[in-house]
């Protein structure tokens, strides 16, 4: 079991290493920005922010939408044509965006 976990983490790390932030940014501009905002900060109350989300979380959720494991009328359609590389690129782009929280 432990070797499977280590192998899975190594595979995930190798996959992520090939992600292309610039390609993710370009894809996000055409596929995601309308709902999630051009920098991953949604202006709609029922649409989540993507900026700063962990890469592994974004990859998992997009693959779940693509497979139908997670359902949403719009996201199912958006995620269906995405390749694994597209998903990795998008996840890396959104994860690369840094947010700062300030208290007043």
Residues 94, 50: contact at Cβ < 8 Å? yes
Token pair for residue 84? 């694994």
Q: To the nearest whole number, what is the mean pLDDT of the chain?
A: 88
Angle between helices 84-96 and 2-17 (to 10 degrees): 80
Task: Return d(Cα 18, Cα 91) in angstroms, integer.
Answer: 12
pLDDT at 72: 97
pLDDT digits (tens, 9 = 90+) for 40-79: 999 999 999 999 999 999 999 999 999 999 999 999 999 9
Say what the pTM is.
0.80
Question: 2-96: CATH homologous superfamily?
Answer: Cytochrome c-like domain (1.10.760.10)
How long is the chain? 104
């Amino acid at each position: 079991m432990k070797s499977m976990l280590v192998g899975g983490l190594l595979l995930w790390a190798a996959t992520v290493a090939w992600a292309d932030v610039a390609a993710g940014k370009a894809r996000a501009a055409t596929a995601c920005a309308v709902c999630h905002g051009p920098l991953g900060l949604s202006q709609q109350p029922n649409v989540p922010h993507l900026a700063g989300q962990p890469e592994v979380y974004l990859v998992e959720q997009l693959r779940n939408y693509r497979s139908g494991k997670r359902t949403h009328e719009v996201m199912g359609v958006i995620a269906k044509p995405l390749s694994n590389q597209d998903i990795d690129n998008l996840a890396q782009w959104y994860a690369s965006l840094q947010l700062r929280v300030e208290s007043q």
